[in-house]
A = this chain, B = another copy of it.
Amino acid sequence: MPRKVALVAAGMSKFGNRPEATPKALFDEAWREMAGRVDRPWSGHADEAWIGTVGFGGHQPGNSAALFLQGTPSQGAPAHRVENACASSGFALRNAFLAIRAGAADVAVAAGVESMNPYSKAHRGAWLGVSGDTEVERASGLTFPGVYALMARAHMQEFGTTREHLAAVAVKNHANGAHNPHAQFQKPTTLDKAMGAPMVADPLGLFDCCSTTDGAAVALLVAEERVPEFTDHPVWLLGSGAATDTLALHDRKEWTGMPATRVAAAQALTAAARRIEEVDFAEVHDCFTIAEVMASEDLGLVKKGQGGNAAAAGRTALTGDIPVNPSGGLKAKGHPLGATGAGQAVEVFEQLRGLAGGRQVKEARLAVTHNVGGSGATCAVHVWEADA
């Protein structure tokens, strides 16, 4: 029986448009919040770190993991930059988890950071596009909204999903985000407003798309036997699963779901020895509203084809039977690419420690996080549980 892995602290920067902050400054802000949440006095030293960032441009695109640790008490520790597009820090979590299980680290950092504001809107689109298939999709002018719009159309045709269903996801996530002080958008919206927003890529309107965001998040994982040095209230990271798929949609048989999500989820739940029916809430990768619909189906939170209906019926709301994205999700909390997976761990920490204030999921004990790169080419899923 391998030793258990605990999340003993997690923190993040304010997510948003942060032109004043460099990626390093965002990382340091997240680190400070994380360190401030360790219950016992801690040296600040971690044995190893994995830091997810897409960072194709910017100040320090290469060898940045060393820079992020510089000036922290963990300076000098082995550090890895992980880049799996928007799933970068979901995979950072996986690596930190594995290192602790392997006995290579007792204390490991899994983090993510992204600074998107330095890029013009035009450059940002081109830059984002290079995480999808570049040979055909990008060359054809198909950006991510376009790719997800194709999946939305397929889902509508096969399952009767409507634009109202999609808008309901946005309304729900903005309602949750209104209670999240870290979120980029903290204002509720209405179905009318979401439905009436300008079209981006038919059928996806402005409110169906997440924003571009600057931000960072840092999670501190420790081996079971070291937990008492950090806290009396660990959150347990029970299982990790991951998978890849083809980059391009046209190489896949299925457009109404993501096989990589199903493989990663099965692996994570098996490792955790838990069933999806036991999960109290999920943080899923809603880069577009249709992505949340597909994720809630692929994870098995709702039946295939029922993701849109479930959102519209309030089942995935904070007070529903299976709350999805209590943080506000990528939609309202914001989506600083490389920071999103680690940001999900921050939400799990706050929820399972009862710190989530107005967005607290009642009696939350078991949670799933789901982080996707590209349009499903990479996916990492993690299962978390509150201490007994």
Q: Which residues of A contact B (CB under 8 A)?
A: 2, 48, 54, 56, 59-63, 65-67, 69-70, 75-85, 91, 94-95, 98-99, 101-104, 130-132, 134-135, 240-247, 251, 259-260, 263-264, 373-374, 377-378, 380
Contact = CB atoms under 8 A, between A and B. Distances in A.
A248 to B, nearest CB: 9
Question: Oligomeric state, in number of copies?
Answer: 2
Contact of A104 (B65, B101, B104, B373): B101
27 contacts: A2-B102, A56-B61, A59-B134, A59-B135, A60-B135, A62-B130, A63-B84, A63-B85, A63-B374, A66-B244, A66-B374, A66-B378, A67-B247, A70-B251, A75-B246, A76-B245, A78-B242, A78-B244, A79-B84, A79-B244, A80-B82, A80-B94, A80-B95, A95-B95, A98-B102, A101-B104, A104-B240
Contacts of A373: 62-63, 66
Contact of A243 (B76, B243, B378, B380): B76
The 8 A-B pairs at the shortest CB distance, nearest first, are namely A62-B131, A78-B242, A102-B102, A63-B85, A101-B102, A66-B377, A66-B244, A98-B102
A384 B359 CA distance: 52
A241 B80 CA distance: 13
Contacts of A63: 83-85, 131-132, 247, 373-374, 377-378
A81 B80 contact: no
A2 B103 CA distance: 8
Given A2-B103, A79-B84, 11 more contacts: A60-B247, A63-B247, A63-B377, A66-B247, A76-B259, A78-B242, A80-B91, A81-B82, A95-B98, A101-B103, A101-B104
Given A66-B244, A66-B378, A130 B60 contact: yes
Contacts of A98: 95, 98-99, 102, 104
A57 to B, nearest CB: 8
A137 to B, nearest CB: 11
Contact of A246 (B70, B242, B263, B380): B70
Contacts of A245: 66, 76
A86 to B, nearest CB: 8
A219 to B, nearest CB: 17
A69 B2 contact: no
Nearest to A87: B63
Contact of A54 (B59, B62, B260): B62
Contact of A62 (B2, B56, B67, B260): B56
Most buried by B among A56, A69, A81: A81
Nearest to A271: B104
Nearest to A378: B66
Contacts of A69: 244
A94 B240 CA distance: 19
A312 B240 CA distance: 52
Contacts of A263: 76
Given A65-B84, A65-B378, A101-B104, A244 B134 contact: no
Contacts of A67: 247, 377
Contact of A99 (B83, B102, B103, B130): B102
Nearest to A260: B76
Contacts of A264: 78
Nearest to A48: B242
Contacts of A246: 66, 70, 75
